[in-house]
Amino acid sequence: MSYSKTFLEHIEEPRNVGELQPPAVVVEVVNSACGDRIRLSVLVEEGKISSVKMRAFGCAPTLAAASVLTEVVKGYSLDEANVFTTEDLVKVLGVLPRGKKHAADLAVEALHTALSKLIV
Protein backbone atom coordinates (compact mmCIF):
# COMPACT_ATOMS: atom_id res chain seq x y z
CA MET A 1 0.00 0.00 0.00
CA SER A 2 1.44 3.34 -0.95
CA TYR A 3 -0.86 6.05 0.27
CA SER A 4 0.59 9.57 0.31
CA LYS A 5 1.70 11.36 3.45
CA THR A 6 -1.20 13.79 3.08
CA PHE A 7 -3.65 10.92 2.75
CA LEU A 8 -2.40 9.23 5.92
CA GLU A 9 -2.38 12.47 7.87
CA HIS A 10 -6.02 12.97 7.05
CA ILE A 11 -6.87 9.43 8.14
CA GLU A 12 -5.06 9.97 11.42
CA GLU A 13 -6.62 13.36 11.98
CA PRO A 14 -9.64 14.06 9.79
CA ARG A 15 -10.23 17.80 9.31
CA ASN A 16 -13.40 19.86 9.68
CA VAL A 17 -15.56 17.08 11.06
CA GLY A 18 -19.14 18.09 11.79
CA GLU A 19 -22.14 19.89 10.42
CA LEU A 20 -23.05 23.56 9.91
CA GLN A 21 -26.39 25.20 10.71
CA PRO A 22 -28.45 27.21 8.20
CA PRO A 23 -27.90 29.32 6.21
CA ALA A 24 -25.22 26.79 5.30
CA VAL A 25 -26.45 24.06 2.94
CA VAL A 26 -26.09 20.45 3.99
CA VAL A 27 -26.11 17.64 1.43
CA GLU A 28 -25.53 13.90 1.65
CA VAL A 29 -24.34 11.84 -1.31
CA VAL A 30 -24.18 8.05 -1.39
CA ASN A 31 -22.30 5.68 -3.66
CA SER A 32 -25.08 3.18 -4.30
CA ALA A 33 -22.65 0.43 -5.28
CA CYS A 34 -20.67 0.28 -2.06
CA GLY A 35 -22.72 2.31 0.44
CA ASP A 36 -20.00 4.90 1.07
CA ARG A 37 -21.49 8.27 2.00
CA ILE A 38 -20.37 11.85 2.54
CA ARG A 39 -22.39 14.55 4.29
CA LEU A 40 -21.05 17.96 3.38
CA SER A 41 -21.98 21.37 4.86
CA VAL A 42 -21.02 24.47 2.90
CA LEU A 43 -21.42 28.08 3.97
CA VAL A 44 -20.97 30.82 1.37
CA GLU A 45 -20.48 34.40 2.40
CA GLU A 46 -19.76 37.29 0.04
CA GLY A 47 -19.36 34.94 -2.91
CA LYS A 48 -16.77 32.79 -1.19
CA ILE A 49 -16.83 29.50 0.64
CA SER A 50 -16.22 30.65 4.19
CA SER A 51 -16.78 27.40 6.03
CA VAL A 52 -16.98 23.67 5.15
CA LYS A 53 -17.64 20.65 7.33
CA MET A 54 -17.97 16.98 6.57
CA ARG A 55 -18.94 13.60 7.89
CA ALA A 56 -18.12 10.42 5.99
CA PHE A 57 -18.66 6.71 6.17
CA GLY A 58 -16.72 4.24 4.08
CA CYS A 59 -13.27 3.05 3.19
CA ALA A 60 -10.18 5.09 3.98
CA PRO A 61 -10.02 6.83 0.57
CA THR A 62 -13.58 8.13 1.05
CA LEU A 63 -12.74 9.55 4.48
CA ALA A 64 -9.50 11.08 3.25
CA ALA A 65 -11.14 12.54 0.13
CA ALA A 66 -13.85 14.22 2.18
CA SER A 67 -11.36 15.57 4.70
CA VAL A 68 -8.94 16.89 2.09
CA LEU A 69 -11.80 18.47 0.14
CA THR A 70 -12.86 20.58 3.12
CA GLU A 71 -9.37 22.02 3.44
CA VAL A 72 -8.85 22.68 -0.24
CA VAL A 73 -12.09 24.45 -1.14
CA LYS A 74 -12.29 26.71 1.88
CA GLY A 75 -11.81 30.27 0.63
CA TYR A 76 -12.68 29.36 -2.97
CA SER A 77 -14.92 31.68 -4.97
CA LEU A 78 -18.03 30.05 -6.40
CA ASP A 79 -16.43 30.12 -9.85
CA GLU A 80 -13.38 28.29 -8.58
CA ALA A 81 -15.48 25.76 -6.71
CA ASN A 82 -17.69 25.10 -9.74
CA VAL A 83 -14.79 24.03 -11.92
CA PHE A 84 -13.11 21.93 -9.23
CA THR A 85 -12.70 18.34 -10.49
CA THR A 86 -11.85 14.86 -9.22
CA GLU A 87 -8.43 15.23 -10.85
CA ASP A 88 -7.78 18.40 -8.84
CA LEU A 89 -8.64 16.57 -5.65
CA VAL A 90 -6.51 13.54 -6.50
CA LYS A 91 -3.56 15.89 -7.09
CA VAL A 92 -3.73 16.86 -3.42
CA LEU A 93 -4.70 13.41 -2.08
CA GLY A 94 -1.91 11.64 -3.89
CA VAL A 95 -2.26 8.56 -6.04
CA LEU A 96 -5.18 6.35 -5.08
CA PRO A 97 -4.98 2.56 -5.36
CA ARG A 98 -6.57 1.04 -8.44
CA GLY A 99 -10.35 0.99 -8.18
CA LYS A 100 -10.47 3.69 -5.48
CA LYS A 101 -10.95 6.79 -7.63
CA HIS A 102 -14.67 6.61 -6.88
CA ALA A 103 -13.88 7.96 -3.40
CA ALA A 104 -12.63 11.23 -4.86
CA ASP A 105 -15.57 11.28 -7.30
CA LEU A 106 -17.96 11.04 -4.37
CA ALA A 107 -16.35 13.95 -2.53
CA VAL A 108 -16.45 16.16 -5.63
CA GLU A 109 -20.06 15.12 -6.26
CA ALA A 110 -20.89 16.26 -2.72
CA LEU A 111 -19.33 19.66 -3.40
CA HIS A 112 -21.16 20.20 -6.68
CA THR A 113 -24.46 19.02 -5.20
CA ALA A 114 -24.05 21.55 -2.41
CA LEU A 115 -23.24 24.33 -4.89
CA SER A 116 -26.31 23.55 -6.98
CA LYS A 117 -28.48 23.94 -3.88
CA LEU A 118 -26.91 27.31 -3.18
CA ILE A 119 -27.52 28.87 -6.52
CA VAL A 120 -31.30 28.41 -6.56
Partner 1 sequence: MELLNNKKRIYFDNSATTAVASEVVEAMGPYFTDFFGNASSVHSFGQQAKAAMDKARRQVAALIGAEFNEIVFLSGGTEANNLAIRGITQAYQDKGRHIITSQFEHPAVLNTCASLEKQGWQVTYLPVYENGIVRLEDVKAAMTDQTLLVTLMHANNEIGTIQPIAEIAKFIKEDIRPKRKNIFLHTDAVQTVGKVSLDVKSLGVDMLSISAHKLHAPKGIGALYIRKGVRIASQQTGGHQERDRRAGTENIPAIVAFGCAAELARKNIDTYTRQVEPLRDYLEQQIAKNIPDLVFNGDHNYRLPNIANISFKYVDGEALLIALDLKGVAVSTGAACASGSTEQSHVLVALGLEKDVVRGSLRFSLSRYNTREEVDYLLEVLPAVVEKLRRISPLYQERLKQESLKSQIA
Residues in contact with partner 1 by CB under 8 A are: 1, 3, 5, 8-9, 11-12, 14, 17, 19, 28, 31, 33-39, 54-60, 62-63, 98-100, 102
Please choose, from the candidates 74, 73, 115, 67, the residue with its C-alpha nearest in 3D space to the C-alpha of residue 93: 67
Residue placing its CB nearer to partner 1 in the complex, 25 or 59: 59
User: Rounded to the nearest 10 degrees, how much is the dihedral formed by the CA atoms of 99, 71, 110, 64?
Assistant: 30
23 upstream amide cis, omega within 30 of 0: yes
Report in angstroms how near the CB of residue 72 gets to partner 1 at its nearest: 18
CB of 29 to partner 1, least distance (A): 11
Closest CB to partner 1 among residues 19, 80: 19
Smallest separation, CB 46 to partner 1 (Å): 29
Q: CA geometry: angle at 99 spanning 17 and 63, to 5°?
A: 5
